[in-house]
Chains A and B, each alone.
Chain A
Amino acid sequence: MRLDKVWIVARKDMSEFKTNKYIVFSLVLMPLVMSFVLPIAYLVPITMLTGDNSNVPLDLHINITSRFEGLNVENVSVSNASFVKSNLTNVVAQSCIFENCTLTDVLARDSVLLNTTIDRSYVIRSNIEASPRTDSTLSGCVIIGETSRTVNMLKTFIDSLLMFFILVPVMIPTIIASYSFVGEKLNKSLEPLLATPTTDMELLAGKSLSIFIPSMAAAWISLVPFVVLVDLIAGPVLGYYPLPNIIWVVGSFILAPLFCLLSISTNVLVSSRVNDVRASQQIGSLIVLPLVVFFVITIAGLITLDLFYMSVFVMLIAIVDAAVVYLSLKVFRREEILIRWK
């Protein structure tokens, strides 16, 4: 295979794409959706749900005037008191400190709760640390030394946005290939090309490369504003910048190119059988199904998206890639194209 010929073909195809408004439109729109709309539309609501989750304790200005230890307190209202190893039931507490206590049916406000069991209670604007909660509601509290469920969800969610990211290098080839292969077939411009001293593989590689380059370029360029936006939105909530992380590095630099190649080769197969640009796009877009399945499984919490599962997924897609590329090479032969491509 002569790479100079591959590159000549790729360059010619790309200069054709530049004149196609549908291709240019999708090359601009898809990354925009990816890098701006997606993080704003999905992450902002979630961060609002988690509220202020910074781990900086609230400045409560508690003046303790009385201290109690080993007490059972019921049906009273207390303020500016410190309780150690006490049980409190049906109590309203204002500006108190609880350490190693049990609170049941308590309304606590502007307080500090440490190693305290909280049951059927309502805690407002307090610092809470190492305190298990059952049937209770917190409002405006800072939980120290523990990540909340919503924060965990936010982390999972950021990783699962990877699916939308990979959609870019999967969908763009579907659009470009439909014009590049079906269009060229309808225009009958393949025959003169086939009469040149190039090998079938050089032609296929050139045409594939011409799709791969703009698709991956669009994806990777969109990655920059995406990472910045996600960090800006989720950073304050998480207390650190979530991106880039290893899942995203593997996802965008290994999995995404593999999916892009899969999409291109699948579309070569589809193009050989279809005589309509739109039909080719519709069938070609079925390629997103395995991607959707994988990420639905992760969002549903059936598996955690970690390096192990990512590697398994990469390997699976690589195997499927090899098979589909092999098939597309078999389909993209002069004789096949001229005789059987209908």
Chain B
Amino acid sequence: MIETVELTKNFKEVTAVEDLTMTIKDGEVFGFIGPNGAGKTTTVRMLCCLISPSRGSAFVNGMDIAHPNDRIKIRGIIGLLPETPGLYESLSAQRNLDFFAQLYGLSSTVRDRRIKELLTTLDVWDRRNDPVAKFSKGMKQKIAIARALVHEPEILFLDEPTSGLDPQASLTVRNYLLDLKKEGRTIFLNTHNLDEAEKLCDKIGVIQRNLLALGSPEELSSKFWGKATVIEARSLTPEMVRAVESIPSVRRVDLAEGKLLVELDRPDLNNPLIVRTLVERGAEIEYVSELKHGLEDIYLKLIGGPR
């Protein structure tokens, strides 16, 4: 579990992160989204006890990131994939992982078993003795993720794991992350790939220096747009629109391109009434569906449109 309370980081005159208060539960995959320079990396570095906050506090599995003894313990139970893989290029994949496993204090039998497990899953076991310099970008990223996982961390921090990878490599990495999610690991995922966040995350935080929104994708959607029903029908008239508008729980109705967009409370109770109202007035209903706002809509609404 990660808890932050008014977590703030200033770099001289720049405030990178301000008053970040949030909670991430065990087993959750948390997507931290925001544009470049929003403060995602800075937040992760604070939570991994690499840099200290200017103000506020944070607890990782109950341990205080400001407490010197806790800091080293926190680093022992987290795994970090930084923005750049930063592998030792001249050393083999195996040696890279073994070095980190040693630093986490794993015995040599555990290390060998764990490294074999990871490299096999990632499909690079055959090339374990090749220097990492010979690997493709995607393979390097996989080794770097394996490095973050070698000690079975309780919490995994991934800082933009697929940025800079070609579509195929990103897909490999993303599929691997899906597997990790199934294992029930707590994952803190920095990304500006909304599709990725939508597919992987249980909870989303939108940041631009301040935390702009926090919740599951559905929660965010209904929070910003309320519930809405889309009705596609032939021969819709303005009169029908007015009739629907007069239904008490309906807040707003829009007619465009043969589609009626109805914002309302409790669609489950009110949709039959709306449909009946329309049918009574001669509308021929084709589809009735729930309006869903994708993460992209949410993001653009919060951060602003195309720049």
Residue positions of A touching B, CB distance < 8 A: 5, 8-9, 12, 15-16, 19-20, 187-199, 334-335, 338-339
| Max chain A Cβ within 10 angstroms of own Cβ: one of B48, B83, B99, B131 | B99
**Cα of A338 to Cα of B82 in the assembled complex, Å:** 12
Q: Is the CB of B90 within 8 A of A8?
A: no
Q: Is the CB of A197 within 8 A of B89?
A: no
Output the least CB separation between A196 and chain B (Å). Answer: 4
**Cα of A198 to Cα of B50 in the assembled complex, Å:** 11
User: At the interface, yes or no: B88 with Cβ under 8 Å from chain A?
Assistant: yes
In the complex, what residues of B have CB within 8 A of residue A194's CB? 50
Binds A, one of B68-76, B120-128, B182-190, B244-252: B68-76
A-B contact pairs, 29 of them (CB 8 A): A5-B103, A8-B99, A12-B91, A16-B88, A16-B91, A19-B91, A19-B131, A20-B90, A187-B86, A187-B88, A188-B82, A189-B88, A191-B80, A192-B80, A192-B82, A192-B86, A192-B100, A192-B147, A195-B48, A195-B50, A195-B79, A195-B82, A196-B104, A197-B72, A197-B103, A199-B72, A335-B50, A335-B52, A339-B11
In the complex, what residues of B have CB within 8 A of residue A5's CB? 103
In the complex, what residues of A have CB within 8 A of residue B80's CB? 191-192, 195
If over half of A's interface residues share one DSSP class (helix, strand or loop), that class is named, otherwise mixed; here it is: helix
- Interface residue total, chain B, C-beta cutoff 8 A: 35
**Cα of A132 to Cα of B169 in the assembled complex, Å:** 90
Output the least CB separation between A90 and chain B (Å). Answer: 80
Known: A16-B90, A338-B45. A188 touches B84 (CB 8 A): yes
Residue positions of B touching A, CB distance < 8 A: 11, 45, 48-52, 72-73, 75-76, 78-84, 86-91, 95, 99-100, 102-105, 131, 144, 147-148
In the complex, what residues of A have CB within 8 A of residue B147's CB? 192
**Cα of A100 to Cα of B277 in the assembled complex, Å:** 146
Q: Is the CB of B88 within 8 A of A197?
A: no
In the complex, what residues of A have CB within 8 A of residue B50's CB? 191, 194-195, 334-335, 338
In the complex, what residues of A have CB within 8 A of residue B91's CB? 12, 15-16, 19
Nearest A residue to B45 via CB reads A338
Q: Is the CB of B99 within 8 A of A12?
A: yes
Nearest A residue to B73 via CB reads A197
B100 interface neighbour in A20, A190, A196, A339, Cβ under 8 Å? A196
